[in-house]
Structure 1
């Protein structure tokens, strides 16, 4: 299959249905996830290190940078541990990535003016809505991923292992808190997804349309790459604080009542983090998050655009 075709010359004639676009969005996300996942795991470990609230409950304080953290994981836990939690992430994208794209495209279709343009405000609202709804449905898979990502650190700190695979994490979480417990940390998770998608979907869409309409560029890989780079940076800037809160809420231990033992909720987590560690604690893991979101957006969007062209569909 030829790669990186021009949007004006698709490779074949095929349906451009909602179902096809949903499936292609999932495939693009899986490709991007497999390639960039170690950055996500490193980002999670950075966000929970030096967590003062956790230290009060016997967890060891650490203060390592991105490279030292990643090397430490590979050295002490094994290289493959950099992909720990990848399976629930694949499960997440089977729900999240397809849903967010379809919701955004439907919203965009209603908001286009007579020239086919979408305003910054409309694109931002569309990204917020698409990210929120898709993540609300997929939040349990994120909880499982966070638990698996943090497990290696717990074991190195002398804690006994709690599970050995993805299925056992689902069983453990259900035993601890029931069905509703799967949505622990869902509020900052949804907020984070809303902000990230405002950056990713809206920034990608508006940057791509600007380059095509205002700069006269063709709908090719060069435009896709530039738009994806912009989308990744904007998504990291607006999404990191909510991502930190989400990670800490999802990673905290749970008491007999099924509630977290470190934080009473998102506001309490925010207050403790800022009070104990400073405002910049909300940007812990920003570099690996950006280094992940940038290549992730690049791979995801180029894969999506190219697969759609290969089957005769329309680009984003």
Structure 2
């Protein structure tokens, strides 16, 4: 009887918000560390058109090189370690962001948007849960995302003969707070939250739905193969939905600020219109391939790690 009670108590502890938060954060740190160079490459590509449009930058900015050549260029011009420039705030971001989004999604799925009596979870409910969890989590993590983007671009500033803006992660937070005030830490939060809503609608809803559809309509069980197929689908959908918002978010976050106001764009809509007018509608999908190439392995590593960590620790499968 005592053993059963102890086992029951341990099971309850493993299914708490905090425990699941720690599990998802751990899986996110693994995925982010492995795939971070792809995120840096994607960010550099998204900024290229903006810099090339400036007459002042036109003489120093190199032509569009594509994902592979951009990555090779970073290694040759700045060194291999620069592929992980800004990784510290990126890891901090995912500890906050992914920990929250996964935990909030499960809370919503199990307590608010309830499953059907047969255990299925309609895609519209999964989409709502994904959007809400993404928006809440990204708002909380937005300052770390801002620091990450600006640190990623400092290597390019050095090559252009400009002094680096950030000396370290802590210096970046202080500098942004001094220049833009406390609210400046949330600059770009609107497109950031918009992007997160789309990413999580694509990622969480697709993975959750695909996983259970695969198990229901095929002979596959809740195993690594099912997790692999579901994560591949979720990465494609998430990248397709989120790339335009990602381009806008990156440009707003990377712009210079003065007295708490952006010097290039006044809002997400203003950035969207100016980008389309200057570079065409397809510029909103600039960096789509590196975005997808980044999301696909990230999603794969995360979901496989997350499911295995849950299994090892005795938590029920996602």
Q: TM-score, normalised by structure 1?
A: 0.93
1:164-187 Cα shifts (integer Å, max 9, x gaps): 211111111011011100111100
How far, CA to CA, are the matches of 2:51 and 2:278 in structure 1?
Answer: 7
How far, CA to CA, are the matches of 2:284 and 2:72 in structure 1?
Answer: 23
1:150 CA drift (Å): 0.6
Task: Name the structure 2 match of 1:15.
Answer: 14
Q: Which residues in structure 2 correspond to 1:50-89 (within 5 Å)?
A: 50-51=49-50, 55-56=54-55, 58=57, 60-61=60-61, 62-89=63-90
Task: Name the structure 2 match of 1:309.
Answer: 311
The answer to whether the 8 Å contact 1:52/1:277 transfers is no
How far, CA to CA, are the matches of 1:67 and 1:215 in structure 2?
Answer: 37
Task: Name the structure 2 match of 1:39.
Answer: 38
Task: Name the structure 1 match of 2:295.
Answer: 293
- Residues 1:53 and 1:183: Cα distance change in structure 2 (over 3 Å): farther
How far, CA to CA, are the matches of 2:192 and 2:252 in structure 1?
Answer: 9
Give the secondary structure class of the aligned counterpart of 2:269: helix
How far, CA to CA, are the matches of 1:162 and 1:138 in structure 2?
Answer: 21
Task: Name the structure 2 match of 1:149.
Answer: 152
1:18 CA drift (Å): 2.1
Greater length-normalized contact order (CA 8 Å, ≥ 6 residues apart): 1
RMSD: 1.6
How far, CA to CA, are the matches of 1:98 and 1:112 in structure 2?
Answer: 22
Matched, 1:211 2:210: no
How far, CA to CA, are the matches of 2:14 and 2:286 in structure 1?
Answer: 44
How far, CA to CA, are the matches of 1:265 and 1:19 in structure 2?
Answer: 36
The answer to whether the 8 Å contact 2:135/2:194 transfers is yes
1:213 CA drift (Å): 1.4
1:190-235 Cα shifts (integer Å, max 9, x gaps): 0101100011100000000001112232100000000000011111
1:130 is matched with which residue: 127, 130, 133?
133
The answer to whether the 8 Å contact 2:46/2:287 transfers is yes
How far, CA to CA, are the matches of 2:173 and 2:284 in structure 1?
Answer: 28
Q: Structure 2 unaligned runs (5+)?
A: 1-9
1:163 CA drift (Å): 2.5
How far, CA to CA, are the matches of 1:263 and 1:149 in structure 2?
Answer: 20
1:174 is matched with which residue: 152, 174, 177?
177
Task: Name the structure 2 match of 1:26.
Answer: 25
Give the secondary structure class of the aligned counterpart of 1:314: coil
Q: Structure 1 unaligned runs (5+)?
A: 1-11
1:256-291 Cα shifts (integer Å, max 9, x gaps): x22111111111100011011011100111111111
Q: How many residues align?
A: 304
Task: Name the structure 2 match of 1:119.
Answer: 122
